[in-house]
Chains A and B, each alone.
Chain A
C-alpha cells in the first residue's frame, strides 16, 4: 500500500504539487490522469525518488520513505522513453539491476529468462534495443522493472510512443500482466480513455491538486466538479449556463440557452445562475410538445452504431448522441429533451450542487 499524505513540491516559488492525498491499495491499478502540465510526472517522480518531496509524507507499506534513496524503495519505474541502454542487449538491459548487485551470471540468466517468458521476449534476448519494434521495446522496459520484484511499479505515459492499434493491444497486455503479477501499479497518462479502460482507481489531477479519486464509473456518473465532469468521458459532457428558479419545495425550473426550459425534481438547489452538465447520451430526440429545447443541427458525425449531432450555435454547441441510422442533416431543426435524472448542476465556480441520479 502506498500512501501520499499532503505531499507538496515547489520549483522555486512555484508550487506544482499543492498538497496531494492519495492511497493506492496493494494489487491496485491506479491511474493518475490530468491535462498536460498538471504535475502527473512530477508526482510520479516524487514517488520514485527522482524528485525530492518538499513537505508531506510518502508511506510505502507502513514505512515513511521520503528520504530513502530511489533504489532502496522497492519501486520500479517504466519511463516514457523506455530508456533502454542502446549498447546492451535485451538480456543485459533486463538483467542490469541484478548485475549491479553482483548476482552470479547464471542466476541473472535464469531470472532474465523467467521474465522474458512472461513478456514473450524469448527470441529477442540477444538483440539490441535499436533492432526492436516499439511494442517490443515497451515489453523490455517492463521486463527491466519486474525483474526487481518491486512492491510498486510506476509507469509514466508508457503508451504514448506507440501507434493507436498497438496502444490498444498494449493496454490489454498491461492489464494481463497486472493480473498475473498481482502487482501494485501507479500509471500516469493524460489520456482519459487509457484511464477509464485500465484503472481500478482513477486519480484526476488538476493544476497540482487532486480533483477527484474513485473507480472509473463513479467518476463518470458522479463527478465532484465540472473539471472531472468534462475531463472524463468522450465526447465531453455538455456544459450549459443556466438559471435556476424554484417552482415549489421539490421542483426547480431550469432555463438555459436555445430557449431551454424544463423542471427538475429537486429540493436543494437555490435560485440563481448555475451550470448544467449533461452527457451526449442523456439528450434525446423527442416530440415537439415534450421538447426542452429546439435546435438546428450543425454537424452530423456517423460512427456506425451511433451518430453524434452537434446542434445549436457555434458559441454554445451541444453534442447529442443518437441512433446510428438516423436521417438528420445539417440545417434540420430538431426538438430535444434532457433526461432530468441524468443532469448535473454545478455552481458557477464548478462545484457539484446536484448529482445525476443515474447508476
Chain B
C-alpha cells in the first residue's frame, strides 16, 4: 500500500471543499424561495423582496381563512386530489396486480399504450377533453333535471363532469393512473406468487387473500403510487382551471392564481400565506408515504 504524497491529499481536501461550497451555494439558491415564502407569510407588511419581518404576525393566515374562502379552497383541493388519489390507489392496485400476473399477449402493448397517456401533454388534449366532458355533463343534466328539478344544480356540483367534483376527480385520476399502474405492476412482479398460493392452500377466499395478504404486502407499492399520484395531482393547475368555474368549487392553486391576478395592489402577505398552505399537504403526504417507502420487507425469501 502506498502513502499518498502530502500534496495530493491536500489537493483532495481542496477538491472536497470546492465541491461542498458549490453544493451549498446551489442548495441555498434552491432554498431561498421557500425561505422567503415562510418568512413573508408571517410578515405584517410583506414585500416582493426578501427581508426580515419587522413584525411577526398571523394576520396573513387569518386573512386567508376569514376574508377569503381559503378554507373552502383547501377543502376542495384536499377533497378532489384526495379522492383522485384514493381512486388511483384502488385501480392501480387491482390493475397492477392483474397486469403483473396475466400472460396475455397484449400486456406489453397495453402497458406502453397507457404510458403514452402520461407522456402526451394534457394541454394538447384540453379541447377534445372539454368537449367530451361537456357532452357527458349535458347528458347527465338532461337526465337529472326532470327528476330533481331545481335541486339539480346542487347535485351536479358533486356529480357533474364540468364544474363538478366528479369530473375533475376522474380526469385527475386518469392522468395519474398510467404511472401508478406501472409502479404497481412492477411492484407485484417482484412479489412472489408463493404468498398467494400459500394463502390459497390455507383456505383463504379471494377477498381474504386480498385483504389479509396482498394489501399488507402491497402497502409500500401503494404508498409509492399514491404519493406520486397525490403530488402530481396536487400540483396540477390547468385541469381545475378549465373544468371548474363556480367560485365555491375553486381549488387552492386557482385561489392563489386569482388572488395574484387582482387588479389592485398585489397582497404578498396573503399570497405567501396561501402558497405556504398549498405546500403543507404535499410535505405531509411525503412524510407519511416515506414511512412505507423505506419499509423493507425482508421476510420470506433467502436467509
Which A residues are within 8 Å of any B CB, using their own CB? Answer: 48-50, 70-72, 75-77, 79-87, 96-97, 100-101, 128-130, 133-135, 137, 144, 148, 161-163
CB distance from B173 to the nearest CB of A (A): 27
Partner of A82, one of B216, B297, B300: B300
Q: Given A71-B203, A85-B216, check contact A77 B198 (CB 8 Å).
A: yes
Question: Taking each of B200, B204, B299, which has the highest tally of chain A beta carbons within 10 Å of its own beta carbon?
Answer: B299
Cβ of B20 under 8 Å from chain A: no
8 A Cβ contacts from B136-194 to A: 192, 194
Cβ of B34 under 8 Å from chain A: no
Residues of B within 8 Å of A76, CB to CB, are 201
- A sample of 26 cross-chain residue pairs with beta-carbon separation below 8 angstroms, ordered by A number, consists of A50-B197, A50-B200, A71-B204, A77-B201, A79-B194, A79-B197, A81-B300, A82-B194, A82-B301, A83-B195, A83-B300, A84-B299, A84-B300, A85-B299, A86-B297, A86-B299, A87-B217, A87-B297, A96-B199, A97-B203, A100-B202, A101-B203, A130-B298, A144-B202, A148-B202, A161-B302
Contacting pair B297 A81 (CB below 8 A): no
The complex places the Cα of A133 from the Cα of B302 at a distance, in Å, of 9
Cβ of B213 under 8 Å from chain A: yes
Question: Taking each of A70, A101, A135, which has the highest tally of chain B beta carbons within 10 Å of its own beta carbon?
Answer: A70
The complex places the Cα of A101 from the Cα of B208 at a distance, in Å, of 11
CB distance from A125 to the nearest CB of B (A): 16
Contacting pair B201 A48 (CB below 8 A): yes
The complex places the Cα of A72 from the Cα of B197 at a distance, in Å, of 14
Residues of A within 8 Å of B200, CB to CB, are 50, 70-71
CB distance from B140 to the nearest CB of A (A): 42
Contacting pair A86 B203 (CB below 8 A): no
CB distance from A94 to the nearest CB of B (A): 11
Residues of A within 8 Å of B199, CB to CB, are 96
Chain B's closest residue to A97 (CB) is B202
The complex places the Cα of A133 from the Cα of B195 at a distance, in Å, of 19
Partner of B217, one of A70, A85, A101: A85
The complex places the Cα of A77 from the Cα of B208 at a distance, in Å, of 19
Contacting pair B192 A83 (CB below 8 A): yes
Q: Given A76-B201, A96-B202, check contact A81 B216 (CB 8 Å).
A: no
The complex places the Cα of A80 from the Cα of B216 at a distance, in Å, of 21
CB distance from A169 to the nearest CB of B (A): 13
Contacting pair B299 A128 (CB below 8 A): yes
Contacting pair B303 A81 (CB below 8 A): no
Residues of B within 8 Å of A161, CB to CB, are 301-303
CB distance from A69 to the nearest CB of B (A): 8
Residues of A within 8 Å of B194, CB to CB, are 79-83
Number of interface residues of B (CB under 8 A): 24
The complex places the Cα of A161 from the Cα of B195 at a distance, in Å, of 17
Residues of A within 8 Å of B299, CB to CB, are 84-87, 128-130
8 A Cβ contacts from B281-303 to A: 297-303
The complex places the Cα of A135 from the Cα of B303 at a distance, in Å, of 8
The complex places the Cα of A30 from the Cα of B275 at a distance, in Å, of 70
Residues of B within 8 Å of A163, CB to CB, are 303
Contacting pair A133 B303 (CB below 8 A): yes
The complex places the Cα of A76 from the Cα of B198 at a distance, in Å, of 9
Contacting pair A79 B198 (CB below 8 A): yes
Taking A86-B217, A87-B216, A134-B303 as known contacts, 16 extra A-B pairs with beta carbons closer than 8 A to each other, sorted by chain A number, are A71-B203, A77-B198, A79-B197, A83-B195, A83-B197, A83-B300, A86-B299, A86-B300, A87-B299, A97-B202, A133-B303, A144-B198, A144-B202, A148-B202, A161-B302, A161-B303
CB distance from A206 to the nearest CB of B (A): 26
Chain B's closest residue to A135 (CB) is B303
Residues of B within 8 Å of A144, CB to CB, are 198, 202
Chain B's closest residue to A92 (CB) is B212
Question: Taking each of B192, B194, B213, B300, which has the highest tally of chain A beta carbons within 10 Å of its own beta carbon?
Answer: B300
Chain A's closest residue to B199 (CB) is A96
Residues of B within 8 Å of A72, CB to CB, are 203
Chain A's closest residue to B200 (CB) is A70
CB distance from B203 to the nearest CB of A (A): 3
The complex places the Cα of A128 from the Cα of B216 at a distance, in Å, of 14
The complex places the Cα of A72 from the Cα of B219 at a distance, in Å, of 30
The complex places the Cα of A83 from the Cα of B217 at a distance, in Å, of 12
Residues of A within 8 Å of B195, CB to CB, are 83, 85
Residues of A within 8 Å of B302, CB to CB, are 134, 161
Contacting pair A81 B301 (CB below 8 A): yes
Question: Taking each of A76, A86, A129, A130, which has the highest tally of chain B beta carbons within 10 Å of its own beta carbon?
Answer: A86
CB distance from A120 to the nearest CB of B (A): 17
Chain B's closest residue to A156 (CB) is B194
Chain B's closest residue to A99 (CB) is B212
The complex places the Cα of A161 from the Cα of B213 at a distance, in Å, of 23
Partner of A81, one of B192, B201, B217: B192
Residues of B within 8 Å of A77, CB to CB, are 197-198, 201
The complex places the Cα of A48 from the Cα of B192 at a distance, in Å, of 17
CB distance from B197 to the nearest CB of A (A): 5
Residues of B within 8 Å of A137, CB to CB, are 300, 303
The complex places the Cα of A83 from the Cα of B301 at a distance, in Å, of 7
CB distance from A49 to the nearest CB of B (A): 8
The complex places the Cα of A76 from the Cα of B203 at a distance, in Å, of 11
CB distance from A326 to the nearest CB of B (A): 40
Contacting pair A162 B303 (CB below 8 A): yes
Residues of A within 8 Å of B213, CB to CB, are 85
Q: Given A70-B201, A79-B198, check contact A100 B208 (CB 8 Å).
A: yes
Contacting pair B303 A100 (CB below 8 A): no
CB distance from B223 to the nearest CB of A (A): 14
